Structure 1
Amino acid sequence: MPRFTILNDRRFWLFFAFALTLLGFPRGILLDWIYRTGSLTDLNHPGGADFVTFWVAAKGALSGHAGNLYDPSFFSRAMVDQFGEDFDMRWLYPPHFLLLIFPLGALPYSVAYTAFQAIGLVAFASLGILAPRRCEMSLWLVFAPTSILCLLVGQTALLVGALSIGAIFLWDRKPILAGVFLGLLTIKPQFGVLIPLVLLIERRWLVIASATLTTCALVAFAGLVFGFDAWRDFILNIAGPQGDVLRANAKTFLEIQMSVYGGMRLAGFEADTAMLTQIGVGSAAIIALITTLRSAARRCTKLAMLVTSTYLCVPYILFYDLAAPTFIAVWLYLGYGLEKGAGPVLSILLVLVATLSFVNGLTVAMGFSAGPLVFVALATALFFRAREESARAPEHQRSPQPDETTPRAGDRPVLARESAASWR
């Protein structure tokens, strides 16, 4: 057995990677992003570049103009009324997201900003309860680079990551709650794009029913509160400002993209070529996901493949949208849910994922985006790990079985013990 030193302690290297990343944040693109629409010392608008859209939208919804938010000219005027200039941001979220944020419009900017980010951070840190060492996992999540970045930028990624991870890790044990989380995840539906496929393959009918009912209730309630015209305007907006965001060719915007599409555009390829490549890589990721789901791999390997495949399928991912893969990376790096610890190659990949916003910033300075390359490498590593786990599994576990069943009463204690063991 090798003698223990700090240099062969996994936690030391994760701490070192986080510290190095955070020390890199005060320079370059991050400061440009923060100060582009505010100053950390300005009490009226203390930084948080993206939060201005949520606050302006919340004030618009409170004043009865929810449907008008999707009109670029209206939103531009509202931005100028609040801050004296238009920051060239538009409202792209569905109407039921307004249900979650419209009370913020009644608060001063700094108070609303603090409350919104606190809710997201608490939700993300609460995922630590899924780990054997709860407090330790929560601390890693709080101080993860993606958490600090989201807090400074003022984005939804922590809340979205909490809903996504909470749903997929709980749908074995709490299917109704997992469905509620999935219904709420429709505020940013692209990050759940592969989840319906998984639910159908695994025949999780209770999760599907709960998610469907939650989504329908949110859609209907938002229509009643803000008017159903808001939904019409949102749908029409998909081909307008939302499409313009995806087609944007500004180098500063492409540099913070993490998708295959964004990486191809940054490399100089035309939009059609980039999208075809995105479709090809996404299709391969879906095939790898289905193969992994139907194998006898451990549950955490399958969930990690689901998250990784999602990030290979979505064409619009920005550098703050990394909460879910950060959780997966830290979880697997620390050995949770793995029968055999992560080897050197997988460990390096997991650390790269956990610090990807910074790593991508370094590679962009060299002329290419590391984001899609890291996700492709991680998907490949998980695919082969799933094959290895399947080969070691007992013969009776190798035929694919649905994960959601209705066990007999006498089977439940045995199944409970097996389920608990599978998460260690």
Structure 2
Amino acid sequence: LGLLIPVALVAGREWRVLASASGWATLLILASTVVFGFEYWKYFLAGLSNAASHVERGNMPIMAMSSIYGFVRAIDASHAVALGTQIAASMAVAAIIAWIWSRKHAGNELRCAALCAAIPLATPYAFYYEMVVTLAAGLFLLRDGFGRGLLAKLWLLVIWFGPVPAMYLQSIASVAAVTPLILLATTAICMVRVWRREHDALSGEALLASNPPGSPPRVSPRP
């Protein structure tokens, strides 16, 4: 699930966080190798291959998946089509997260909201119990000032409580997961908010440049 975290940290130039995370990850890898030996990694890779094989053959509960891959498979698409769609979606979401985290006026709350919403979209192996990240996305959006209007409040309710009835509907009616659509819409909301913030900041800078402090106000000549 952490595929987008390095993308976000690099785009946001969070070098200290990236170095710290990389260092701790390396230490954990070395510690697990010392404790369990190199055989651990052989079984780990075999487990990944086995899980991928189960998903490809449809042995996994597709209706319990909350990824783009699961959504496409649930509408009777083949493994190849679903995987291709997932790869394209993962690349698009990674580009969106990189853009949001590279914006100067995005703000940490909006960056984290977008990242939490996009994380399950970047992997084909997201299941219903991993939708807890939508709670974090909603909380970060709320801290960013989202939720002042009626529609915004309703969308926060969808983010926080929507996955629960959606999963129940999937299990009893065998319909495609709607949680990826909720996550996509939430990511799009974050992107639009960042774009507006950047546009307002650029407009303010242009206005300040055209009329710097201390300069006499411009008076339009009378006709």
Structure 1 letter corresponding to 2:64:
I
Runs of 4 or more consecutive aligned structure 1 residues displaced over 4 Å after TM superposition: none
Secondary structure of 1:322 counterpart: helix
Partner of 2:12: 202
Give matches, 1:22-421, under 5 Å: 191-239=1-49, 241-250=50-59, 253-295=61-103, 296-332=105-141, 335-338=142-145, 341-364=147-170, 365=173, 367-393=175-201, 395=204
* Partner Cα distance (2:48, 2:134) in 1: 26
Determine what percentage of the aligned residue pairs are the same residue: 22
Q: 1:355 and 1:245, CA in 2 relative to 1: closer, same or farther beyond 3 A?
A: farther
* Partner Cα distance (2:140, 2:112) in 1: 11
Give CA-to-partner distance per residue, 1:247-293, whole Å, 9 cap, x none: 2525x811111001001111111011111111222222222222222
* Partner Cα distance (1:393, 1:363) in 2: 43
* Partner Cα distance (2:155, 2:69) in 1: 21
Q: CA offset at residue 310 of structure 1?
A: 1.7
Q: Is the 8 A contact 1:261 1:277 kept in 2?
A: yes
TM-score (norm 1): 0.44
Secondary structure of 1:255 counterpart: helix
Partner of 1:5: none
Secondary structure of 2:194 counterpart: helix
Partner of 1:174: none
Structure 2 letter corresponding to 1:220:
L
Structure 2 segments unaligned to the other structure (5+ residues): 206-223
Q: Is the 8 A contact 1:308 1:379 kept in 2?
A: yes
Partner of 1:63: none
Q: Greater helix percent: which structure?
A: 2
Q: 1:248 and 1:320, CA in 2 relative to 1: closer, same or farther beyond 3 A?
A: farther
Select the structure with the greater relative contact order (CA < 8 A; seq sep ≥ 6): 2
Give CA-to-partner distance per residue, 1:116-150, whole Å, 9 cap, x none: xxxxxxxxxxxxxxxxxxxxxxxxxxxxxxxxxxx
TM-score (norm 2): 0.80
Give CA-to-partner distance per residue, 1:195-216, whole Å, 9 cap, x none: 1112222222221221122111
* Partner Cα distance (1:291, 1:220) in 2: 34
Q: 1:314 and 1:349, CA in 2 relative to 1: closer, same or farther beyond 3 A?
A: farther
Q: CA offset at residue 357 of structure 1?
A: 3.2
Q: How many residues align?
A: 201
Give CA-to-partner distance per residue, 1:158-178, whole Å, 9 cap, x none: xxxxxxxxxxxxxxxxxxxxx
* Partner Cα distance (2:178, 2:93) in 1: 17
* Partner Cα distance (2:48, 2:151) in 1: 40
Q: CA offset at residue 318 of structure 1?
A: 0.8
* Partner Cα distance (2:7, 2:160) in 1: 26
Q: Is the 8 A contact 2:66 2:127 kept in 1?
A: yes
Give CA-to-partner distance per residue, 1:76-103, whole Å, 9 cap, x none: xxxxxxxxxxxxxxxxxxxxxxxxxxxx
Q: 1:256 and 1:267, CA in 2 relative to 1: closer, same or farther beyond 3 A?
A: same
Secondary structure of 1:297 counterpart: coil
Structure 1 letter corresponding to 2:91:
S
